[in-house]
Chain A
Amino acid sequence: MNTIVDAQGSGSSGGSGSHSLPRQAERGVGREEATSYLTAGHGVKSWLFTTDHKRIAILYALTITVFFFIGGAAATLIRMELFTPAGDLVSAEGYNKLFTLHGVIMVWFFLVPAIPATLGNFLLPLMLGARDLAFPRLNLMSWWLIVIAGAFVLYVLVMGGVDTGWTFYAPYSTTYSNGYVVAAAAGIFVSGFSTIATGLNFIVTTHTMRAPGMHWFRVPLFVWSIYATALIMLLATPVLAMALLLIMIERLLGVGIFDPALGGDPVLFEHLFWFYSHPAVYIMILPGMGVVTEIVTCFARRRIFGYQFMVYALLSIAVVGFFVWGHHMFVAGQSMYAGLVFSFLSYVIAVPSAIKVFNWTATLYRGSIVLDAPMLYALGFIGLFTMGGLTGLFVASLPIDVHVHDTYFVVAHFHYVMVGGMVSAFFGGLHFWWPKITGRLYPEAWARFAALLMFFGFNMTFFPQFILGWMGMPRRYHEYPSEFQVYHVLSSAGAVVLGAAYLLPLGYFLWSLRYGQPASDNPWDAKGLEWRTASPPPKHNFPSTPRVDEEAYDYHPPRRPPGGHLDHPSDGRPAS
């Protein structure tokens, strides 16, 4: 395990020696210019085979950006097709492949790795005051695995696609589908190992590598959210991997346990699939909650309201999230009694989510609030997640779910949680930590405009889909009866706005890499260890291991910002 130590590592780290107070040491003018992780090695190889968690985070960010735009292109075509009731733009088969591709890519190659593997990978060791993750080479391997997995999916895309929907329900996937089911499932199977490796690394790092003084209730809530996410990744993903392996073999060899023609029960696949896929939606929202907590506290200059409850809420969402999968199967021929149990637990899990929304809101009370772009995204998250969460109650109610199951109501519901929630949080986090990651400031005015545009575009796209679903429009329809057209046109028009809003940040982020103002170490005057090192951080994160002697989010009383604050004049009104 220890024989290969990467070559660049030995020079720059300052593991032993001076124990200066890090905060003062690095702020001073005469700070030693530690080489940043970006310049610590050159050439393609120094990136592709890096074990530095920050570089791996960048690799992940590039990878998922590519997939985000591929998935987004599929979504664009879907919305264009649905502009008219007739199936005139693409063939029925083409449409089915588009929504499958959109689902598969967005779920496994964007949403699941989005925050954990990029922001989480970059920030977790920094926030804990560690030099790296516990298993740096495992971390590198997990990126390579997702690249290989992505290659499978791109192969499927090039060869002609797959039309099972991201759910891969048997016996359609095992027997009736004409697409490249095996290759697609193999891709997801491999990506599962990537997810497991990442989750394992995060849990072990959080347990064993916290800086001195950082006891469990001083850990930033972003780390807690990643921890809770990692729990789900570890305990749910293997079951999906096995279910997909069974699908692959059943399709390849014609023997298996799902197809009724072989004596099997298709509902068993649904159990296995949703045992992963329901908790997986919490993989796709918990990290967003963590990001929003960091942002809200910083831009309200407030300690988070009810820190411990926030922790318990995160953990209970992660755990109870495993008990509710059957609410996807109320009409699938599952026993009604099991349905009742699942329905009840689905209501229960709404409680911790509600706690989180109330606590964020309460945090703003008596704050000192600045509405910069990250805060706009965070506020948008709270609003949209509230709607997404509340509509979750509709689908948890048996009679309503019987009506809206597999309709656009469900589509709208989970897009409110995942796009309105997770993607908003991802963009918020990207803006918030952009100066730390790149050492540059992004253009604030553009960013605020993009945030607002995204909010309006999103609502315009997906709110009409609630009505569509309530009216009875089933999902995955290539053609549809004309009475639904009004809402589809509204939705497609919104998608244009939303698409533009997603392209904007791509533009100004790239611009800022070259022309953005250099960022100070702590441009937001934020708490958290990640702000106590250079922007961008040196290869081993900290000149010396930081010591933690205060609670998380200790914004009381507001600390006087040091001179180097860039965007905002300091608050002239000290707390009374």
Chain B
Amino acid sequence: MSDPQALAEQFDDLGQQRHAAELGMWIFLATEALFFGGLLLGYAVYRHLYPEAWFAAARETEILIGTANTAILLTSSLTMWLAVRAGEEGRRDAVTLALGLTATLGAFFLGLKAYEYYLDWDNSLVPGLRFAFEKADPEHAEIFYYLYFFLTGVHAVHLTVAITAVLVVLFLVRTGRLAYQQSATLTVLGLYWHLVDVVWIFLYPLIYLPGRSQ
């Protein structure tokens, strides 16, 4: 099988193309930060206005699952990083293995997340559909849970996209249809994956940790 063509026609050389791809992804990540920013602002404002409701509501979240999921995502970042590094050295087997591990960890995260949603349903913590909160200020606790579902839901959508992308690249690398060593594909994919991780790194203390010490 011949080497797939790496250089697109609008570019002069591979260096330029790589730079463009990486810059493009970084800029996209900046817009992602602001996309989540709108929700986080809502979180911050209501937490500032109704701290009691916030702490009471956050204490009811499933901290074990949240912590385990954080660990899983951090580990997936390591395997993603390994994939990029293996790609630079042209080690196809290592790339596919690392990508496979990454996707598996991501799927594992989603599975736990789904179980957590199930528990939330069981505990009547789903705003609009099934919500009963006995502790202080149920109205604003409902806003907390609304934001919780919104934030983690949008994050889960991002992660699903990321897993799909990883699987596609994995397939292309395995079948030799991607010039992974020359193109920036792996790097760019890695950047997106790590962003999904970074978002979670911030969601974890915002959702699971408030009010634990009271």
Contacts and interface: CB of A to CB of B under 8 A. Distances in A.
Given A9-B9, A203-B27, 12 more contacts: A13-B9, A135-B20, A136-B10, A196-B31, A200-B28, A205-B20, A207-B23, A209-B16, A238-B34, A239-B37, A255-B146, A256-B146
B7 A2 contact: yes
B45 A131 contact: no
Interface in B30-53: 30-32, 34-39, 41-42, 45-46, 49-50
Given A3-B4, A209-B16, A265-B49, A242 B9 contact: no
Interface of B: 4-12, 16, 19-21, 23-24, 27-28, 30-32, 34-39, 41-42, 45-46, 49-50, 127-128, 139-140, 142-143, 146-147, 150, 177, 179, 183, 185
A282 to B, nearest CB: 16
22 contacts: A1-B8, A2-B5, A9-B9, A15-B9, A134-B10, A200-B31, A201-B24, A203-B27, A204-B20, A204-B24, A208-B16, A238-B37, A238-B38, A239-B37, A249-B150, A255-B128, A257-B42, A262-B142, A262-B143, A272-B38, A272-B41, A540-B9
A448 B39 CA distance: 50
A243 B38 contact: yes
A162 B142 CA distance: 29
A204 B20 CA distance: 6
Contacts of A208: 16, 19-20, 23
Given A5-B9, A209-B16, A239-B38, A204 B23 contact: yes
Interface string A227-243: 00000001111110111
A293 interface: no
Contacts of A205: 20
Interface of A: 1-3, 5, 9-10, 13, 15, 130-136, 196, 200-201, 203-205, 207-209, 234-239, 241-243, 246, 249, 253-257, 262-265, 268, 271-272, 540, 545
Contact of B127 (A135, A196, A255): A255
Interface centre among B9, B37, B142 (most CB of A within 10 A): B9
Contacts of B140: 263
Contacts of A200: 24, 27-28, 31
B20 A209 contact: yes
A545 B12 contact: yes
Contacts of A241: 35, 38
Nearest to B42: A257
Contacts of A254: 128
Nearest to B5: A2
B32 to A, nearest CB: 7
A234 B20 contact: no
A401 B185 CA distance: 52
Contacts of B11: 134, 209
Contact of A242 (B23, B35, B142, B185): B35
Contact of B4 (A2, A10, A234, A239): A2
A235 B31 contact: yes
Given A203-B27, A204-B24, A239-B38, A209 B10 contact: yes
Interface centre among A1, A246, A268, A540 (most CB of B within 10 A): A1
Q: Which 4 residue pairs across A and B have the least CB separation, nearest first?
A: A242-B38, A255-B128, A238-B35, A132-B10
A238 B31 contact: yes
B24 A134 contact: yes
A234 B30 contact: yes
A136 B42 CA distance: 36
A135 B11 CA distance: 10
Contact of B139 (A235, A263, A545): A263
Nearest to B8: A2
Nearest to B128: A255
A246 B38 CA distance: 9
A135 B24 contact: yes
Nearest to B21: A1
B139 A262 contact: yes
Given A131-B9, A253-B128, A263-B142, A268 B42 contact: yes
Contacts of B36: 242
B8 A5 contact: yes
A257 B147 contact: yes
Interface centre among A130, A203, A257, A545 (most CB of B within 10 A): A257
Given A242-B39, A257-B147, A262-B143, A234 B31 contact: yes
A268 B48 CA distance: 13
A392 B146 CA distance: 39
A349 B154 CA distance: 35
Contacts of A264: 143
A204 B188 CA distance: 14
Nearest to A15: B9
A19 B12 CA distance: 14
Interface centre among A15, A133, A256 (most CB of B within 10 A): A256
Nearest to A197: B28
Interface centre among B7, B150, B183 (most CB of A within 10 A): B150
